């Protein structure tokens, strides 16, 4: 028995009966194929959420009592100024002329208050940043998906504890904290004001004008005057200008840097206005930012440009500046969330090296504000009170830290109580088993005025409480990790069984050997055991009051393994067949598995090292061209083309992930696209006699309905290049996007993507038309080198098709000479495709490589901060997050659609089942997914944690969006015709 791996071969005899059994079994198996796809989508969607239950559950719990501080409030009111998107270095450093951009706040730093860097943690988005500042806790990383929405979960904040809060600013931020707050007065500007085509500093002026008019109205409104004169008052001004200008013009632009000066002037005017209005020196001021801004005008990840924000505090209760000393700060045991260390050297260009710098975690600002106002800390706060900012005596310092400690301890006790009440076997956090005795000891030390010992013990108890909170955040880690891992393994095993049963000749082999696998197996006992196990596990989860997703994880895992065991007869037959195989079969099988795993591990590592793809395509280009050189006539030119295409594509993974602006390159890419399309058109019309191109061109098919279609598509590509130039020129000149330009851009993008449906149905004609059809949209969404990548990827995809087509004709003679292979080829699947062989595993593996290259050709898809918002400015400049996000995602999907269109055409060319290859693609994806599942981190820097989450999420979602893209691209590829199938079968026979 010879064989090609899992397929094996058949004798010619019994072919007819084998065909009957395959056809009958496929009718039964095809009925479950649709729900198998649905199961895969649901399973991956649910398991993708598991990391948030394992590592990043929401930290919010309810039911804690606020801790009332036992000291006199130093301030009657507090003014919070948040400059959205302000980087620390751009705030502190001088301009090119040596002048500092924030002269007022620098005078505060040197004469009245304290300063430092506030360290934010990813996701460095506006909402999570403001929640950390105002509520004192870090939202789980999934909060970035709700970046523009109010939090559906109620949480406590400094505003909640105030007597009254006045707030003015962005409609995306202010309503989160004041929308449902009865004791608040607030106002926001319309969304239409957030236009990226203009200088957004007027938004900051708007917020100040609102506050100024409020104070002016109070002179004629006694009720408003009374509100303003009460204690525990908070004023919050959200200043969005830096964020909008940073996105639109970059943080090194003159507009952004000038906005820093605008923010400083507003801080000065607010200070003068408040002091002249109240005249009691009882106001505290906090100036900070929610996040920074990368050089390319984005934010979201853990880069220092995004996490480092300025912090300046002054006024009532705030210490005055101190000279730099070598003494450790009182909070030096606190670790910063972005892994920075205490006493970091201050850059000399900041000009503040002689003044003590006190860095904080962003969540520390909330207890600082609460302490200045004498309010209880927000009940969910995990911030540590930064004592170096507060002008307290020793006794008051201890009381403030103790209040902070009790508030964090109350969270721990509440989480412990909730977990204990719902656990069948509860495991307590042992270090805090005797917390009450520690509290009594602290109170005793305070009563005997041993404040130093009381302070150390309070800080120690606070650290233990924070460790305890982390313990309960990951309490279910081991159980969930085990269940989800078994679920992934079960899904992969079930997928392999389905492919073997549906798309290979194994059922026919078993029939010939009388190892008959009945269509209806007696699986009642298996299903009964599975249902009983599900019932027992669900009852245990109900007793523990586990969330619904816990039930979903376990039910899916048990269901998958029940389905696997229900195929016990097929598994027995498979085992008997394997035992009868020759040794060379196992060598082939092991070699194929090893190569597959090596390639998939290469892809896993490529997520952190993009340059691996460069080496990959350099080597593949040489190897593929040498192989073709020895297999087909050199005069065909195909080996040279494959070499050049691979080497051209290898350039782009050496490019920076942050795409620099280069409008001229985008325009030149339009000319390149038209030239490539013209060459393809010429080959389609004039290469009729070449046997290596015949099945791609297929001139026997009917002529296209629209002979001028190519010229129309080329015209649209050229027109889109012109519109790229016009739209960009207007934005650079800080003019609004003209409505006519907007209409033309939308019309070109929409119309061009419909035209490929009317092209000729040969492989080369249709793929060329698809390439030209998506080019205008991609060009209009491009800002730099990614426009050239579009052409490079298309050339590589054609090289892949040419390589497979050459292999098809090189192997044709061998197949026609082998009677065994002829018999096998004669038995095909229902739609005429041949059965899968082990060697066909190269198709999904090459697809995975090219599909993942498409991830990184338009930047670093695996990083939140790589979504370049300026890409959409030729379609829309008014801030509309959902439309902008949709355009960005569609741009990223266009290269994927090219890959899948080429993949679909290739499956038709070599007559392999596309859905079977899809299942193999998902199998490869899941091998990578389970690797990334174990690479998810909950320790180390938050940049690493954020990347590990995004990598896992991308691979988990691949089963969904690959399926969606298959469905979408099927519109373009379903009527592709090739002459190779008929010619191939006839000659084989």
Q: Which segments of 17-170 are extended strands (E)?
A: 77-83, 114-119, 164-169
250 in a domain, yes or no? yes
Instruction: Supply the pLDDT for residue 885.
Output: 77
Calpha distance 129→338 (Å, rounded): 14
Q: Count other Cβ atoms within 10 Å, centred on residue 260.
A: 27
Instruction: Supply the pLDDT for residue 863.
Output: 46
Number of domains in the chain: 3
Check whether 941 has a pLDDT greater than 60.
Answer: no
Predicted confidence band at 288 (pLDDT cuts at 50, 70, 90)? very high
CATH number at residue 177: 3.40.720.10
960 in a domain, yes or no? yes
All residues at 6 or more sequence positions from 737 whose CB lies less than 8 Å from its CB, including other chains? 197, 727, 730, 731, 873, 874, 876, 877
Calpha distance 785→804 (Å, rounded): 29
Calpha distance 609→341 (Å, rounded): 27
Q: Are residues 693 and 621 in the same domain?
A: yes
Task: State which residues form the domain around 125.
Answer: 77-326+339-392
Q: Are residues 253 and 164 in the same domain?
A: yes
Instruction: Supply the pLDDT for residue 34.
Output: 76
Once rounded to an integer, what is the mean pLDDT over residues 38-66? Answer: 81
Predicted confidence band at 817 (pLDDT cuts at 50, 70, 90)? very low
Predicted confidence band at 701 (pLDDT cuts at 50, 70, 90)? low
Predicted confidence band at 127 (pLDDT cuts at 50, 70, 90)? confident
Is it true that the peptide bond before 919 is cis, omega within 30 degrees of 0? no
163 in a domain, yes or no? yes
Q: Are residues 679 and 574 in the same domain?
A: no
Contact 414, 63 (CB under 8 A): yes
Q: Are residues 507 and 539 in the same domain?
A: yes
Higher pLDDT, 2 or 624: 624
3-state DSSP assignment of residue 234: strand
986 in a domain, yes or no? no
Signed CA dihedral, 251, 253, 259, 260: sign only: positive
Contact 157, 114 (CB under 8 A): no
Question: What is the average pLDDT score of the chain?
Answer: 82
Instruction: Supply the pLDDT for residue 188.
Output: 95
Averaging pLDDT over each range in 297-306, 720-729, 903-912, which range is the top one? 903-912
Instruction: Supply the pLDDT for residue 98.
Output: 87
Q: What is the pLDDT of residues 702-761, one digit of tens each?
A: 555 677 888 899 999 999 988 888 877 766 666 666 778 788 888 988 899 999 988 888
Higher pLDDT, 57 or 824: 57
Burial (Cβ within 10 Å: 0-12, 13-18, ≥19) of residue 342: middle
Predicted confidence band at 512 (pLDDT cuts at 50, 70, 90)? low
605 in a domain, yes or no? yes
Check whether 159 has a pLDDT greater than 50.
Answer: yes
Instruction: Supply the pLDDT for residue 847.
Output: 93
895 in a domain, yes or no? yes
Instruction: Supply the pLDDT for residue 619.
Output: 92
Residues in the chain: 989
Calpha distance 2→743 (Å, rounded): 63
Instruction: Supply the pLDDT for residue 476.
Output: 76
Contact 123, 864 (CB under 8 A): yes
Q: What is the pLDDT of residues 231-275, one digit of tens each?
A: 999 999 999 999 999 988 889 999 999 999 999 999 999 999 999
409 in a domain, yes or no? no
Q: Are residues 679 and 571 in the same domain?
A: no
Sheet of strand 164-169: strand arrangement: 184-188, 164-169, 233-239, 77-83, 283-288, 308-315, 114-119, 360-361
Q: What is the pLDDT of residues 577-590, one digit of tens each?
A: 788 777 888 888 89
Q: Are residues 236 and 349 in the same domain?
A: yes
Instruction: Supply the pLDDT for residue 821.
Output: 43
Instruction: Supply the pLDDT for residue 290.
Output: 95
Calpha distance 645→655 (Å, rounded): 17
The residues with which 286 forms a beta bridge, in sequence order, are 80, 313
Domain termination site, one of 580, 606, 630? 580
Q: What is the pLDDT of residues 434-484, one digit of tens each?
A: 899 999 999 999 999 999 999 999 999 999 999 998 888 777 778 888 899
Six-digit token pair at 204?
Answer: 């900051």
Check whether 228 has a pLDDT greater than 70.
Answer: yes
Domain termination site, one of 531, 565, 580? 580
In terms of Cα–Cα distance, which of 272, 282, 286, 269 is closest to 235?
286
Calpha distance 358→336 (Å, rounded): 12
Q: What is the pLDDT of residues 603-614, one digit of tens each?
A: 988 888 888 888
Six-digit token pair at 296?
Answer: 């390319």
773 in a domain, yes or no? yes
Contact 242, 263 (CB under 8 A): yes
Calpha distance 46→130 (Å, rounded): 29
Q: Are residues 884 and 951 in the same domain?
A: yes
pTM recorded for the entire structure: 0.68
Contact 78, 234 (CB under 8 A): yes
The residues with which 119 forms a beta bridge, in sequence order, are 308, 361
Q: Are residues 589 and 569 in the same domain?
A: no
Q: Are residues 575 and 598 in the same domain?
A: no
Q: Are residues 873 and 950 in the same domain?
A: yes
Greatest Cα pair distance in the chain: 104
Instruction: Supply the pLDDT for residue 583.
Output: 80
- Lowest-confidence segment of 694-703, 801-810, 931-940 by average pLDDT: 694-703
Instruction: Supply the pLDDT for residue 857.
Output: 66
Identify the DSSP state of 74: S
Instruction: Supply the pLDDT for residue 59.
Output: 74
3-state DSSP assignment of residue 675: helix
Q: Are residues 504 and 614 in the same domain?
A: no
């Amino acid at each position: 028995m010879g064989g090609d791996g899992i397929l094996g071969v058949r004798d010619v005899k019994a072919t007819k009966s084998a065909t009957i059994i395959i056809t009958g079994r496929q009718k039964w198996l095809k009925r479950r194929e649709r729900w198998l796809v649905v199961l895969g989508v649901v399973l991956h969607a649910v398991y993708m959420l598991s990391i948030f239950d394992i590592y990043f559950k929401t930290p919010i719990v309810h039911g804690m009592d606020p801790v009332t501080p036992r000291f006199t409030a130093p301030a009657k009111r507090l003014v919070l100024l948040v400059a959205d998107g302000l980087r620390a270095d751009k705030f502190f450093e001088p301009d090119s002329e040596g002048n500092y951009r924030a002269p007022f706040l620098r005078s505060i730093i040197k004469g009245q208050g304290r300063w430092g860097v506030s360290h934010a943690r990813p996701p460095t988005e506006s909402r999570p940043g403001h929640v950390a500042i105002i509520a004192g806790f870090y939202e789980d990383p999934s909060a970035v998906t709700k970046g523009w929405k109010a939090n559906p979960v109620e949480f406590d904040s400094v505003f909640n504890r105030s007597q009254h809060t006045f707030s003015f600013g962005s409609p995306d931020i202010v309503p989160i904290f004041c929308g449902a707050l009865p004791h608040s007065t607030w106002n926001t500007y319309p969304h239409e004001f957030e236009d990226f085509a203009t200088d957004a500093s007027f938004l900051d002026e708007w917020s100040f004008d609102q506050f100024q008019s409020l104070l002016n109205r109070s002179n004629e409104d006694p009720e408003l005057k009374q509100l303003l004169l009460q204690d525990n008052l908070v004023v919050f001004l959200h200043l969005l200008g830096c964020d909008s200008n940073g996105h639109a013009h970059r943080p090194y632009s003159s507009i952004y840097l000038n906005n820093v000066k605008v923010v400083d002037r507003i801080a000065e005017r607010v200070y003068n206005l408040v002091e002249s209005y109240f005249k009691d020196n009882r106001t505290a001021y906090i100036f900070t930012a929610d996040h920074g801004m990368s050089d390319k005008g984005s934010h979201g990840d853990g880069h220092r440009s995004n996490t480092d924000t300025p912090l300046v505090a002054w006024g009532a209760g705030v210490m005055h500046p101190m000279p730099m000393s070598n003494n450790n700060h009182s909070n030096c045991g606190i670790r910063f969330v972005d892994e920075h260390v205490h006493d970091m050297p201050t850059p000399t260009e900041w000009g503040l090296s002689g003044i003590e710098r006190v860095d904080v975690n962003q969540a520390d600002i909330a207890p600082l504000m609460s302490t200045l106002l004498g309010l209880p800390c927000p009940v969910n706060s995990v911030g540590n009170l930064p004592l170096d900012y507060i002008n307290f005596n020793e006794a008051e310092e201890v009381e403030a830290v103790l209040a902070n400690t009790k508030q964090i301890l109350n969270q721990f006790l509440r989480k412990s109580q909730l977990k204990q009440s719902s656990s069948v076997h509860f495991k307590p956090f042992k270090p805090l088993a005797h917390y009450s005795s520690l509290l009594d000891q602290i109170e005793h030390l305070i009563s005997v005025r041993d404040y130093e010992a009381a302070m150390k013990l309070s800080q120690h108890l606070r650290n233990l409480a924070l460790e305890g909170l982390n313990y309960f955040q990951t309490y279910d880690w081991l159980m969930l990790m085990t269940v989800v891992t078994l679920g992934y393994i079960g899904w992969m095993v079930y997928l392999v069984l389905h492919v073997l049963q549906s798309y290979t000749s194994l059922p026919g082999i078993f029939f010939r050997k009388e190892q008959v696998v009945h269509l209806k197996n007696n699986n009642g006992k298996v299903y009964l055991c599975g249902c009983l196990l599900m019932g027992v596990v669900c009852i245990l989860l109900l007793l523990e009051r586990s969330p619904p997703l816990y039930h979903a994880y376990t039910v899916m895992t048990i269901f998958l393994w029940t389905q696997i065991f229900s195929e016990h007869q097929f598994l027995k037959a498979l085992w008997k067949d394997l035992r009868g195989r020759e040794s060379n079969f196992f060598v082939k099988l092991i070699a194929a598995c090893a190569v597959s795993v090596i390639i998939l591990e290469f892809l896993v590592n490529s997520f952190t090292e993009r340059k691996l793809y460069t080496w990959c395509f350099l080597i593949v280009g040489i190897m593929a061209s040498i192989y073709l050189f020895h297999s087909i006539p050199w005069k065909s030119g195909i080996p040279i083309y494959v070499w050049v295409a691979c080497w051209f594509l290898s350039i782009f993974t050496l490019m920076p992930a942050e795409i620099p602006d280069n409008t001229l390159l985008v325009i030149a890419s339009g000319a390149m696209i038209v030239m490539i399309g013209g060459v393809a058109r010429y080959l389609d019309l004039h290469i009729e006699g070449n046997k290596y191109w015949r099945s791609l061109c297929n001139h026997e098919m009917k002529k296209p309905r629209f002979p001028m279609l190519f010229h129309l598509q080329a015209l649209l590509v050229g027109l889109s290049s012109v519109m790229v130039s016009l739209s960009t020129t207007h934005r650079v000149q800080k003019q609004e996007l003209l409505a006519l330009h907007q209409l033309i851009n939308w019309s070109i993008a929409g119309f061009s993507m419909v035209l490929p449906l009317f092209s000729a149905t040969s492989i080369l004609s249709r793929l060329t038309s698809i390439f030209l059809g998506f080019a205008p949209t991609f060009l209009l969404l491009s800002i730099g080198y990614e426009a050239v990548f579009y052409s490079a990827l298309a050339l590589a995809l054609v090289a892949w098709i040419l390589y497979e087509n050459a292999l098809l004709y090189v192997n044709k003679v061998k197949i026609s000479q082998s009677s065994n292979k002829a018999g096998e080829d004669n038995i095909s699947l229902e739609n005429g495709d041949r059965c899968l062989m082990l060697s066909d595993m190269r198709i999904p593996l090459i697809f995975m490589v090219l599909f993942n290259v498409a991830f990184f050709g338009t930047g670093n898809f695996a990083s939140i901060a790589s979504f370049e918002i300026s890409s959409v400015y030729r379609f829309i400049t008014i801030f509309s997050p959902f439309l902008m996000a949709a355009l960005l995602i569609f741009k990223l999907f266009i290269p994927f659609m090219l890959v899948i269109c080429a993949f679909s055409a290739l499956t038709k060319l070599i007559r392999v089942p596309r859905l079977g290859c899809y299942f193999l693609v998902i199998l490869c994806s899941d091998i990578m997914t389970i690797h990334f599942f174990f690479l998810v981190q909950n320790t180390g820097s938050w940049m690493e944690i954020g990347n590990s989450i995004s990598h896992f999420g991308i691979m988990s979602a691949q089963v969904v969006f690959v399926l969606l893209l298959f469905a979408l691209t099927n519109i373009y590829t379903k009527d592709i015709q090739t002459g190779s199938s008929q010619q191939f079968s006839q000659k084989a026979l």
